[in-house]
Chain A
Amino acid sequence: MTSVVTPLDPRRDQRARSFAHRVAPAWLHARARGIPLAVLGIVAVALAAWWCADWLVHREWSTGADSRVPVVAGAPLLAVVLASAGLGGQDEELERSTAVRWRVRRLGHILGMTLLIGCALVLIGLWEPREYGAFELARNTLGFVGLVAASAPVLGSRLAWVPSFAYAAVVYLAAPKPILTEAAWWTWPLQQWGADLAVLVVVALFVGGTALYVMKGARPARDADE
């Protein structure tokens, strides 16, 4: 038996350490916020949405593109709900007392989450990009991210999903059918890509929600979650 002795290379060691210094905390932070699981969930949602959309459109009595409406509203909602738990830490007050630039990190959170979900869903929506496809998926992702971001400072990260879900659930049922563009300001999750008003509302939601969250962060969980 021979033992292989690797010559010690101090530079290599140093490089390894600095890599660990940079990446390990980020990974730890990500894990503490449950991000790896959320990413898996988002991928699963995207695949399920793709399958559902395909099935809905191609079944016998399909009404065409607009049978994808539930997917176009539901998939971004579910993906954002899964990601929303990561908006706050286990102990928000403790975290805030640490010396990290929280505002930058929060902005990173929102943008990262939007990009990830947006890309995943746009990708599966590209098969038929217009009429309840990629565009609407991206728009609704922005809208729901804005809603959870605005909710987190008020309700805490654990409950931030509630307004988005309740809103989507009610709008889907209560929206006048057929979908009217005049009602786009409140039925934006169900609108077609041509409805400019829906896009305006969504952009306002996204910008407003992100600003609120970046400034205030998630509400600490101490007395909120019960």
Chain B
Amino acid sequence: MSTPTVIGTHVEVRDLVVRFGKRTALDGLDLTLDTGVHGLLGPNGAGKTTLMRLLATVAKPTSGTVSLLDHDLRDHRQLRRVRRRLGYLPQHFGYYPRFTVREFVEYFAWLKEVPADRVPTAVDRAIERVGLLDRADDKLKKLSGGMLRRAGIAQAIVNDPDILLFDEPTAGLDPEQRVEFRELLRAIGVDACVLVATHLVEDVTAACTDVTLVNGGRSVFRGTPEELAAAADDSVGGDSPIERGYTTVLRAARQG
């Protein structure tokens, strides 16, 4: 395993604005994240994916600054150093059907410039952590939807990233796999910054140390899951305290 390389802030986002033509996807968002598992919660179209793509250095903001691991992303050498320490599972996860799980994860280890002598163990470890070791030499086209997601997660964590971005990672996982996945999140979150974007509240409750709620491209809540649950107004519907909290905060944001 690589030694933790980060001191200071993992993710620092200031006054971020992203526009697609006339539509504003992010509207002056501020966000600071350190080690731990962070939930990014919000309704569909809130701007979660847009933010994730920015943090993954795939997209550029219209205005505002993104700083990752205290590096300036405009400098291409620093950008490259940051990318070596990134892991990203996009919402629409693409894969090559004829690659085996091992080949696929290894391909990404190569893309992330994991040192050659560490690649075989890193690949095995990543596959093991997502519980696919028995299918490691199967082609991806033979895997079920949930297994594919897990192969995607293995690809994201193969370089032991300092910043790990999961966009809707639990889509397609069965309940048991989701429990395992949350455990994995907690384990990784000990010394890395994990950001999980989701619209499923229960994922957040179980695994996250804190929650950021976005709506309409703005951050409308930041706190622990307990704090979100505490914000609940009993008049709104919902099956769990945190769901009620979520709805309450969202309504307040929409009105105000």
Contact = CB atoms under 8 A, between A and B. Distances in A.
Question: Which label, helix, strand, loop or mixed, suits the secondary structure of the B interface?
Answer: loop
Interface in A191-226: 222-224, 226
A78 B97 CA distance: 29
Nearest to B139: A223
A223 B97 CA distance: 6
A224 B141 CA distance: 9
On chain B, which size bracket covers the interface? under 10
Interface string B96-127: 11100000000000000000000000000000
Nearest to B141: A223
Nearest to A223: B141
Contacts of B96: 226
Contacts of A223: 97, 141
A109 to B, nearest CB: 26
A226 B97 CA distance: 7
A9 B98 CA distance: 60
Contacts of A222: 97, 141
Contacts of B98: 226
Nearest to B99: A226
A199 B221 CA distance: 73
Contacts of A226: 96-98
A45 B41 CA distance: 53
Interface of A: 222-224, 226
Interface of B: 96-98, 141
Given A223-B97, A223-B141, 6 more contacts: A222-B97, A222-B141, A224-B97, A226-B96, A226-B97, A226-B98
